[in-house]
Structure 1
Amino acid sequence: MANTGRTIALFALAAALSAPAHAQEGVAAPVPASVVGQRWAEAQKRAQATLDQMTPEEKTVLVHGQLAVPIMGPLNLPADAVIGAGYVHGVPRLGVPSLRETDASLGVAWLMGLRKDGATALPSAVAMAASWNPQMVEVAGGMIGGEARAKGFNVMLAGGVNLLRDPRNGRTFEYFSEDPLLSGVLVGHAIRGIQSNGIISTIKHFAVNDQESGRYFLDAHISEKAARESDLLAFRIGMEIGDPASVMCAYNKVNGAYACDNDWLLNSVLKQDWGFKGFVMSDWGAVPGTQAAIHGLDQQSGEQMDKKPWFAAPLTEKAAADTAYSIRVDDMNRRILSAIYARGLDKPFTASGAIDFERNLKVSLDVAQQGIVLLRNERGVLPLAASAKSIAVIGGFADSGVLSGAGSSQVHGKEGPSVSLSMGGSGPFSGLIAEQYQGKPPLDAIKARAKGAAG
């Protein structure tokens, strides 16, 4: 009973934090739970009608996807594909669109400039959390979601809400905080903003994923009570507020079973306890075998990164021979189709290519300014006085750019990085792992404000 009371109190606080969201420009009023429920009910009804028309071959189209970037060999992508994280074929005969996926939580990923375009980068999620402003985070989510749609994407692999358990985690910059309430509220609003553009957002990485270097063999041991009061609570709050259409499972094991092959996480907690109606997609290269379908995984992503495309021919064979797999394949398709219909992906979709970068940069600047809440400004020293005679600028590459997060979440403008330092390595993804600096050197900004000062 005490745990129930604590959960109710936390959800009440989360609701209080999110209640005034509609008061800020660019933030829609919260959608009542009854409306959300009705939307999903109608989507599920449409999904069943489509499923009833699908052939056995068509039932294995939506449940697996490929890399959509040529870093593990040449690609054979259809005309509607966009260079990005992934591509899942649609079913044109039934009006089911393809899924065109891009990373990530802080903007449309750069991907080594392969698209020959750029995007607006948000400050780190840690900086966003320092603002304690869910409405601002929702506006920021709407901004990056709008850029994703303009480029032709309809799925954004955003919604990073893993807790900051280790400051050395290589993806700490993508996550909000160590606190499940703050993280959950903010990620929920980020997802709401992204999905306001008529696209799907994930929430990730489910669950207890707190470091990168050992992600393929880490086994996180945590009691159910502790999990539900920490990592899982952050996901639960984020999902209550944001209603993401997809959950991305993690690489690591949780209590002995891989997160993407974890019956307790995916079936017991997510789908049964929480009543999640959307679909679970894997992280890229996180599927250990076909049995993951039985344990709750609905879609294999970036199948080239796994040992084999488990959810293609192997799943078809299982479904033909085993009733349990046949029933699961139907459920997998029903969930993916429901997400497509709930978020309106089947409606006419045009990649406009038109992005108001000046406006979007102002959104990013607002996030940065509100995130500096711990910076003291005694005697009005900030902003720097124009009369300053000498200013010490300390930090590497301050005359070149600002260090940014690397990997799949790297975001750059069209011009790309101002400095890029290789971290070595020879694998296909070594190009993604580099110390990169975004343009707009801090030194230039200081000189512009204090023209008479010497450095």
Structure 2
Amino acid sequence: MFKVGKKFKKLVWSTLVLSAAVTAIAGGAFSAQPTQANAEQAAVSSQLPWMDTSLSPEKRTELLIDAMTLDQKIQQLAGMRGVIPELVECGSPGRHIPGIPELGIPTFRITNGPVGLGGGDCSPQDKATALPVAIGLAASFDPSLAYAFGDLMGGEARTLGLHELEAPGMNLARLGENGRNFEYMGEDPYLAGVLSSKEIKGIQDNDIIAMSKHYALNDQEQNRMSVNVNIDENVLHELYLLPFEMSVKDGNVGSIMCSYNRVSGTYACENEYLLNTVLRDQWGFKGYVQSDFGATHSTAPALNAGLDLEMQSAKFFTNANIKAALADGSLTMDTVNQALSRRYVQMFKYGIFDRPIVRGTIDAETNGSKARDIAEQTAVLLKNEGNLLPLDPSVDSIALIGKSTYVDAAVAGGGGSSRVIPLYTVSPLQGLQNTLEKLGSNAAITKVTVAADNSNLDEAVAAAKDADVVILLAGVVTSEGRDRPSLSLPDSQDDMISAVTAANKKTALVLKDGDPVLMPWVNEVPSILEAWNPGQEDGNVVANLLFGLANPSGKLPVTYPVSKADTPTSTSERYPGVNQGVLDSTGKEIPQVYYSEGLEMGYRWYDAQNIKPLFAFGHGLSYTNFDISKLVVTPKTTDGTKKIQVSFFVENTGKAAGAEVPQVYLGLPKAANEPPKRLVGFEKVWLKPGEKKRVTITIDPAASNHPLSIWDSNADTWKTLDGEYKVYVGNSSDNITLTDSINVRTPVGHSK
């Protein structure tokens, strides 16, 4: 074993000081100086052979693990609350793995992150940029925007001396009531996978380890700690695992978070099939698996199944438990070393051993501007009768009305561990004033905050009657740990919307939510803008969109139903689950939820059941008009392995610059027994008035989303069937304007 004190051939501290002393860092931030603890760490590290940066991450990891004692190894398998020597000003936070200074192992610091830097590793929590919620990012249908989203978060994490960012979240929106839908990327696995993979690259390009979560099927908050998900294997692979597979193969994600729930009877964090068979053997994942906080339920079974790091602290990966498991043979030292190796390789890969832990200052103005630009591209214009929007700035009076949550302050995001403490916020009134000033408008604004019980609704109605136009704000803010009680807006907002709209037909409704909502008043309201939870720049974002300084370009990443009865989860067996006398080892009931809708989830359900939604997946209007034409698909006949080119023209036929998102869907042969179509391609196209562009979308059968394939549960692999495949092109899942087909034929004597 190597002993500290041997002469080391390479001194790295000078490089560390240089990297920490620069005045500007990625992500719009300013640096701090390294602490005395960092300097002492560097002095030790300069003598350690695994600190030779010319070696590969794998070799450095091997040298480090060979030098560790058993007690040191065990200490590194779980988090622990306490003071961070490198950042004593952070108090005693609980999102880190303590370092081992004599081995050059730094404190490994973790932060939450689907919508900005949430619960982090400082107490009190560091402030950060509150971005629009992730479901809003999904609505952008824009991979480059997803990269920018990840880049901003990764840059801020780097600035604050963090190492791992628990993002992106990619559980699918099977359930509209799910309290964490705002953290995720909608109902379609391909869309979620594309955007998540780009977000991961944005994060990891800042040398921050990204994390795909929550693996897998953590699709409801009710009973999330105990529920057992019963699901067919083909449904699991074709829908719910697909974004994770894409994040591994396309995003090269460094870590995975396993979830609280059970899958087919076994907790996700000790599920051999999920963590080893699928993740490592089938997908080739090389990173590490971390438990959700408190999601570990065993010692040897969890480690043997592929869990590498227990968080938030050691309950099962304790010194006594690990040593007992080693002693009785249920656990081997190779497995312990493997768990450490998987994390250390990623840490070496992203330079975490090689830079001091410093806590700089985020450039709030720069990153706030970026957040505003992102949020403006996430909004979805659901309805715009009579072209009420964009509003005319020459109006004399505007009534700004809503419940306090939505009209008095920025809706910066949902609740729970992902909650960001924003660097600043822009209220609706402030944002409206800012936009009117830019437009040279002298419109008078009357703001009415409607009481939770609508007791002053008459005041809002009177203000609406007196105003030239009304901006009505409504929504719902959800949270980790609980689901919504229904799909309806809370706090009697439906009554408020109906009353205000009846008082003034020139009412623009702005929804601020993170899920689909029911709209019994939809035919009464001329214009509806879905702005999601827009983040800290809420006021500026919404006002810029309403007055046309920004043109809505988002598309719905989830289906909005007419009623709960229309959804695929309207029975108790499908949600929230049922008790059937299945008990755990302590005698407690294990709730059972059944994904018996199979592949018919999201728009696939509405297509297959021939149910007309209120607003379909992929729907989104603009302040201009577009035409998609002249579809050409080549080749028309293929063996199922060659790339397919889908080409068409997109033209802006209106009078404003804007963006359209043409969507390509594929219908599989009848023998596949699949829903009518699946999304296989899209592209966001920005066009000036009168501009026309040829767009080509490639369908690659070998791609990570397996666009032509179905999962064969018997063979435990993907397969492509012979037959006719329908190609559909449109600007939403229910507005297909161009169709064609291809034929897949396997040559005699060949197999796919």
Alignment match, 2:310: 300
In structure 1, the partner of 2:347 is 340
Amino acid in the other structure paired with 2:432? I
Per-residue CA distance 1:160-186 (angstroms, 9 max, x = gap): 111111111111100011100000111
> Does 168-177 or 317-326 show the bigger shift?
317-326
8 Å CA contact retained: 2:95, 2:120: no
1:192–1:241 contact (8 Å) kept in structure 2: no
Q: Which residue of 1 aligns with 2:427?
A: 441
Take 2:287 and 2:154, find their aligned partners in 1: how far apart are those partners? 19
Deviates more, 1:386-395 or 1:247-256: 386-395
Q: Distance in 2 between matches of 1:184 and 1:411?
A: 24
1:200 and 1:246 in contact (8 A); partners too: yes
Spell out the pairing of 1:65-144 with structure 2 (5 A cutoff).
Answer: 65-67=79-81, 75=82, 77-80=84-87, 82=90, 86-109=95-118, 114-115=123-124, 117-144=126-153
**Mean Cα displacement is larger for which, 77-86 or 117-126?**
77-86
Which position in structure 2 is the counterpart of 1:367?
Answer: 374
Equivalent runs, 1:208-247 vs 2, <5 Å: 208-247=217-256
In the TM superposition, residue 414 of structure 1 has moved relative to its aligned partner by 4.2
Deviations 1:352-409 (A, max 9, x none): 5132211111211111111124356677754533212232333212442133211101
Instruction: Output the amino acid matched with 2:396.
Output: K
What percent identity do the matched residue pairs reach?
Answer: 37
**Alignment-mate amino acid for residue 444 of structure 2:** A
How many residues were matched structurally? Answer: 385
CA drift of 1:316 comes to 2.7
Provide the rounded CA distance (Å) in 2 between the counterparts of 1:322 and 1:131. Answer: 52
2:410 — aligned with what?
402
Q: Give the CA deviation at 1:136.
A: 1.0
Checking the alignment, whether the CA contact within 8 Å between 1:300 and 1:311 is kept in structure 2 is no
CA distance, structure 2, for counterparts of residue 176 and residue 149 of structure 1: 24
User: Which residue does the alignment assign to 1:313?
Assistant: 320
Structure 1 stretch 347-356 or stretch 208-217: which is displaced more?
347-356
In the TM superposition, residue 85 of structure 1 has moved relative to its aligned partner by 5.3
> TM-score with structure 1 length normalisation?
0.79
Provide, for residues 169-217 of structure 1, a one-character-per-residue CA deviation record: whole Å limited to 9, x for no partner.
1111000111000001111111111111112111111001101121011
Q: Which moved more, 1:108-117 or 1:123-132?
A: 108-117
Structure 2, unaligned runs of 5 or more: 1-25, 28-52, 447-752
Match of 1:388 among 381, 390, 395: 395
Distance 1:112 1:173 in 2: 23
CA 1:285 to 1:152, structure 2 compared with 1: closer, same or farther past 3 Å?
Answer: same
Q: Distance in 2 between matches of 1:451 and 1:65?
A: 57
Distance 1:198 1:116 in 2: 22
Partner of 2:72: 58
Deviation per CA, 1:50-89: give whole Å up to 9, x if none.
212211112112211124xxxxxxx455444746551102
Residue 235 of structure 1 deviates from its aligned partner by 0.4
Pairwise CA distance, 1:342: 1.7
- The answer on whether the counterparts of 2:291 and 2:311 sit within 8 Å (CA) in structure 1 is yes
Q: 167, 187, 195: which is aligned to 1:186?
A: 195
Give the alignment's TM-score, normalised by structure 2.
Answer: 0.48
| Aligned mates of 2:401, 2:122 — CA distance in 1 | 30
Deviation at 1:351, TM superposition (A): 2.3
Give unpaired runs (5+ residues) of structure 1: 1-24, 27-38, 68-74, 416-438
Give the letter for the 1:400 counterpart: D
SS at match of 1:45: helix
Higher relative contact order (CA 8 A, sep 6+): 1
Question: Within 1, Cα distance between the matches of 2:356 and 2:117?
Answer: 18
Q: CA deviation at 1:272?
A: 1.4
Alpha-carbon distance, 1:282 to partner: 0.4
Equivalent residue in structure 2 for 1:452, among 443, 451, 455 = 443
Checking the alignment, whether the CA contact within 8 Å between 1:148 and 1:156 is kept in structure 2 is yes
Deviations 1:12-58, CA, capped at 9 Å, x for gaps: xxxxxxxxxxxxx99xxxxxxxxxxxx9x932232122212211112
- Contact 1:184 1:235 (C-alpha < 8 Å) held by counterparts: yes
Query: In the alignment, what sits opposite 1:249?
Result: 258
Which has the higher mean CA deviation after the structures are superposed, 180-189 or 402-411?
402-411
Matched-pair contact (CA < 8 Å) for 2:112–2:120 = no
Measured in 2, the distance between the counterparts of 1:352 and 1:288 equals: 34
**Partner residue, 1:351:** 358
Provide the aligned C-alpha RMSD in A. 2.6
Which residue in 1 is equivalent to 2:56? 42
Structure 1, residues 417-452: CA drift from partner, whole Å, max 9, x if none? Answer: xxxxxxxxxxxxxxxxxxxxxx32112222341542
Higher helix share: 1
Conserved in 1, the CA contact under 8 Å of 2:111 and 2:120?
no
Query: Alpha carbons of 1:153 and 1:112: their partners in 2 closer, same or farther (altered >3 Å)?
Result: closer
Q: CA 1:161–1:317 in 2, change beyond 3 Å: closer, same or farther? A: same
TM-aligned CA deviation for residue 226 of structure 1: 1.1
AA aligned to 1:365 is R
Query: How big is the shift at 1:145?
Result: 1.3
Judge conservation of contact 2:87–2:357 (CA < 8 Å) in 1.
no
CA distance in 1, matches of 2:336, 2:179: 35
User: Structure 2 vs 1, CA of residues 105 and 239 (structure 1 numbering), >3 Å: closer, same or farther?
Assistant: same
Kindly provide the amino acid, as one letter, of the partner of residue 442 in structure 1.
Answer: P
What is residue 268 of structure 1 aligned with on the other side? Answer: 277
Tell me which residue corresponds to 2:154.
145
Task: Give how far 1:323 is off.
Answer: 6.9
Which structure is higher in strand share?
2
Structure 2: distance between partners of 1:311 and 1:350:
27
Contact 2:161 2:357 in 1 (8 A): yes
Q: Secondary structure at the match of 1:391?
A: strand
* Equivalent-residue separation in structure 2 for 1:334 and 1:221 (angstroms): 33
**1:309/1:451 CA distance change after superposition, 3 Å:** farther
SS of aligned partner of 2:210: strand
Structure 2 CA distance for aligned equivalents of residues 380 and 364 of structure 1: 28
Q: Which is higher, the Rg of structure 1 or of structure 2?
A: 2
For 1:216 and 1:387, the matched residues in 2 are separated by: 55
| Contact 1:251/1:283 (<8 A) preserved | yes
| CA deviation string 1:82-124 (max 9, x = no partner) | 4655110223233222211111111112679943641101101
Equivalent in the alignment of 2:504: none
Aligned to 2:391, the other structure's residue is in SS state coil
The 8 Å contact of residues 258 and 292 in structure 2, kept in 1 or not, is answered as yes
Farther-moved stretch of structure 1 (405-414 vs 176-185):
405-414
CA distance in 2, matches of 1:320, 1:451: 79
Q: Which shifted more, 89-98 or 54-63?
A: 89-98
Aligned equivalent of 1:196, options 205, 211, 232? 205
> Following TM superposition, by how much is the alpha carbon of 1:341 offset from its aligned partner in structure 2, in angstroms?
1.3
SS in 2 for 1:402: coil
Instruction: Give the residue type in structure 1 aligned to 2:355.
Output: P
Tell me the CA shift for residue 286 of structure 1. 0.5
SS in 1 for 2:294: coil
Aligned partner letter, 2:402: G
